[in-house]
C-alpha cells in the first residue's frame, strides 16, 4: 500500500470515530457538526500538522551557525539519501530522542532533543539522524505526523464528549448519551491501535535504510541501546502521548502516559538492535 493510500485510509478511519461520536451524542445534528470538525481536522493535519507537532514540543529552528556540528551531519546524510536539506530543530528537553516531520521531502524537518546531543557519540548521532532521514525518504513523515495530530485531537474530543454524555447529550435529536460515552472511552484506544499498526512496520524499514545511509548498522544499534536506557528514566515534560509513534524510541511522558505505555507504537528495542547487528555480521 502506497504512503498516499495509507494516509487516505488513516484519515478515513480516524474521521469515522469523530463522526460516530457526534452522531451518538447529538443525533443527526451532532453528526453533521462532527463531519465539519473532521473536514477541518483533515485539512489542518495535511497542511499544518508539522507546525502543530513542532510547536507542541517548543522546538526551535536552528541556523547553521547555531549548530554547525548537527547541520553537517544532516547535510551529509541528505546528500547520501538524495534528499533536499531538511530544516533542523532542537527540542528543549533533557530526554534523549528525535523525530522527523513534514508533508513531503521538500517540506521536511528533523528535530532532536538537547538531551540526545549530550549523550550520543558523533557516530551514534549520525545513526539516529540517518533513521529520521530514512523516514523522510520512505515518505513516512506525512502519515506519522497526521496520525499524531489526529490521534491527539480524538483524545481531546473524546474527553469533551465524555463530559457531555455524562450530562445527558441531546436525546431530542436522536442522540444516545450512553453509546456516546462508551464510544468516547473506546475511541482513544482504537486510535492508538491504528497508530501502532502503522508505525511498527515502518520502524524496521527506517532502521534498515538508516543503517545503509550512515554506513554502519552498529552506529544506530548502539544509539538505540543508549536511548532505550535513558528515555524511560527521563520523561518528556511537554507534548502528548498520541505523538509517540513519531519518535525514534518510545518516549515516556511526565503526564498522561498510561495509555501510551499500554499500547507501544514501536517494535521491541531488543529486536530492532538484533536485526541491525545481524545486518552488520551479514
What is the tens place of the pLDDT at every residue in 105-160? 999 999 999 999 999 999 999 999 999 999 999 888 877 777 666 666 666 666 66
pLDDT of 172 above 50? no
DSSP string, 42-109: HHHHHHHHHHHHHHHTT-EE--GGG-HHHHHHHHHHHHHHT-PPPEEEEE--SS--EEEE-SSGGG-E
218 is catalytic: no
Look at the block and give the residue holding cell 528525535.
98
Which of these ranges, 2-6, 59-63, 69-73, 152-156, has the smallest mean pLDDT?
Answer: 2-6
pLDDT at residue number 114: 97
CA distances for 95 relative to 138, 172, 252, angstroms: 26, 50, 9
What pTM does this model have? Answer: 0.77
Instruction: Return the percentage of the chain with pLDDT > 90, whole number.
Output: 41
Which pLDDT score, from 0 to 100, does residue 113 have? 97
Kindly report the number of other CB atoms within 10 A of residue 165's CB atom.
24
Domain boundaries along the sequence of the chain = 3-281
Strand bridging mode 87-91 / 98-101? unpaired
Residue tagged active-site, from 93, 132, 203, 218: 132
Mean pLDDT in residue range 209-217: 96
Average pLDDT estimate for 264-276: 87
DSSP codes, 193-243: HHHHHHHHHHHHHHHHHHHHHHS-HHHHHHHHHHHHHHHTTS-BSSS-GGG
Amino acid at each position: 500500500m502506497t504512503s498516499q493510500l495509507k494516509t487516505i485510509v488513516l484519515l478515513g478511519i480516524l474521521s469515522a470515530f469523530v463522526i460516530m461520536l457526534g452522531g451518538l451524542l447529538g443525533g443527526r445534528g451532532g453528526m453533521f457538526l462532527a463531519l465539519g470538525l473532521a473536514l477541518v481536522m483533515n485539512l489542518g493535519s495535511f497542511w499544518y500538522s508539522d507546525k502543530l507537532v513542532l510547536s507542541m514540543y517548543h522546538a526551535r529552528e536552528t541556523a547553521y551557525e547555531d549548530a554547525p556540528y548537527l547541520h553537517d551531519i544532516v547535510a551529509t546524510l541528505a546528500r547520501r539519501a538524495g534528499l533536499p536539506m531538511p530544516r533542523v530543530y532542537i527540542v528543549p528537553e533533557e530526554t534523549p530522542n528525535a523525530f522527523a516531520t513534514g508533508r513531503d521531502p521538500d517540506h521536511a524537518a528533523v528535530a532532536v532533543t538537547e538531551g540526545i546531543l549530550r549523550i550520543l557519540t558523533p557516530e551514534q548521532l549520525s545513526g539516529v539522524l540517518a533513521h529520521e532521514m530514512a523516514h523522510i525518504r520512505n515518505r513516512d513523515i506525512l502519515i506519522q505526523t497526521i496520525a499524531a495530530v489526529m490521534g491527539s485531537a480524538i483524545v481531546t474530543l473524546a474527553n469533551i464528549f465524555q463530559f457531555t454524555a455524562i450530562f445527558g447529550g441531546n436525546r431530542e435529536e436522536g442522540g444516545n448519551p450512553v453509546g456516546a460515552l462508551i464510544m468516547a472511552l473506546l475511541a482513544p484506544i482504537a486510535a492508538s491501535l491504528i497508530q501502532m499498526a502503522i508505525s511498527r512496520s515502518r520502524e524496521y524499514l527506517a532502521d534498515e535504510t538508516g543503517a545503509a545511509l550512515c554506513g554502519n548498522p552498529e552506529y544506530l544499534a548502539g544509539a538505540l541501546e543508549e536511548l532505550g536506557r535513558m528515555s524511560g528514566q527521563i520523561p518528556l515534560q511537554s507534548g502528548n502521548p498520541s505523538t509517540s509513534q513519531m519518535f525514534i524510541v518510545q518516549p515516556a511522558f511526565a503526564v498522561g502516559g498510561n495509555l501510551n505505555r499500554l499500547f507501544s507504537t514501536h517494535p521491541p528495542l531488543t529486536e530492532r538492535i538484533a536485526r541491525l547487528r545481524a545486518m552488520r555480521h551479514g
